[in-house]
Amino acid sequence: MSVKVAKDIKSMKKAALSHAYDSHRVVGDELVLVFHKDMVAPLDTPIIVSFSILELAKKVMYYDYYYTFLPLWPSMEVNMKKLF
């Protein structure tokens, strides 16, 4: 929860019209505390753009391995099979 201090009516109205407005408390004649909820967007699901970027990176790595490294070093395939 965040707090904003409003010193005049204009700033109080602006803070109260926010999507995150929760409540307010009058402290003095010209002083108001405006409480806002924390605006947090949960990122629990995979984002399509990030997934696409990872898939393109994987495609580039496969291409480099099969069309660049293996023609230059054919013994690399044999060594990789020994590792795994």
Instruction: Tally the residues of the chain.
Output: 84
Any domain includes 27: yes
Is the pLDDT at 51 greater than 80? The verdict is yes
Through-space distance between the first and last CA atoms of the chain, rounded to whole angstroms: 51
Query: Are 6 and 26 part of one and the same domain?
Result: yes
The predicted structure's pLDDT at residue 71:
80
Query: Are 32 and 52 part of one and the same domain?
Result: no
Is the pLDDT at 29 greater than 80? The verdict is yes
Is the pLDDT at 45 greater than 90? The verdict is no
List residues bridging with 33 in a β-sheet. Answer: 5, 25
Any domain includes 24: yes
Total domains in the fold of the chain: 2
Any domain includes 43: no
Query: Are 7 and 27 part of one and the same domain?
Result: yes
Q: What is the mean pLDDT of the chain?
A: 82
Any domain includes 42: no
The predicted structure's pLDDT at residue 56:
93
List the domain range (segments joined by +) for residue 75: 48-83
Query: Are 79 and 57 part of one and the same domain?
Result: yes
Lowest mean pLDDT among 12-16, 32-36, 56-60, 72-76: 72-76
